[in-house]
Amino acid sequence: MWNVLLSFSGLVALIQLLFLPFFPESPPYLLMQKEDKAGCLKAMKQLWGEGNYHTEFDDLMKEKAMTKGTKIMNVLEVLRERSVYPQLCTMLLLLLSLQLCGLKIFLTANLQESIIPYVSLGVSICELISVMFCSSIIERLGRKVLIRGGYWIMGSLLAAITVTLSLQDWYYWMPYCSLALIVLFSVVFAVGP
């Protein structure tokens, strides 16, 4: 029954997806990225209820003034910046450890043990490319669009993974479908949520 347990995370994603449109954008995002002061105050009111948020708003304005001279770096500039190496190493270790967790799924999908390390490496490379791609499009599309679209696609992929893993004994090609869906799931997760 582990495949039913795996599909349960799709149900949680669906619940989050249904409620996401009712939440406002982040006030710092609205003020600093979109430069929408009225939208920022409206989001604060929607998030925290009635009240006076001028202190928080002033703090955001001070933060915006401090970051005004700083340049937003692209992925290659971040990779060249030595001060962020500890954070990059931590992120890479996290991505690699997540890939090791997927080995059990690859074994369950009846893949040959000799190719599982290569498949895992391929998934890691796909995720890394997805994260870099996401960092370049997030400002254009917005976080809400990426999260909402990502959750819809991930929910659909989890349902398809559950079906393919349940049918893997019936068709010889079904494990490969499971593998493709798992890789696609990790790519969508890296780009969206």
Domain ranges in the chain?
1-72, 76-191
Banded model confidence at residue 105, pLDDT cuts 50, 70, 90: low
The residue whose two tokens read 């692209």 is 74
Residue tagged 């190719």 (tokens): 115
Average pLDDT in the chain:
77
| CA of residue 1 relative to chain centroid, distance | 27
Determine contact, residues 179/126, Cβ cutoff 8 Å: no
Task: State the chain's maximal CA–CA distance in angstroms.
Answer: 64
Which tokens in the block code for residue 186? 């990790």
pLDDT recorded at residue 110: 65
What 3-state DSSP class applies to 29? helix
**Tens of pLDDT, residues 57-99:** 878 888 877 777 666 677 777 778 888 888 878 777 766 666 5
CA–CA gap between residue 117 and residue 33 (Å, rounded): 41
Q: Which residues contact 124 (CB under 8 A, 6 or more apart)?
A: 95, 96, 99
Percent of the chain predicted with pLDDT > 70: 83
Query: HSE of 190 in the Cβ direction (CA atoms, 13 Å)?
Result: 26
8 A C-beta contact, residue 161 and residue 4: no
Confidence of residue 133 (pLDDT cuts 50, 70, 90): confident
Report the alpha-carbon distance of residue 25 to residue 157 in Å, rounded: 26
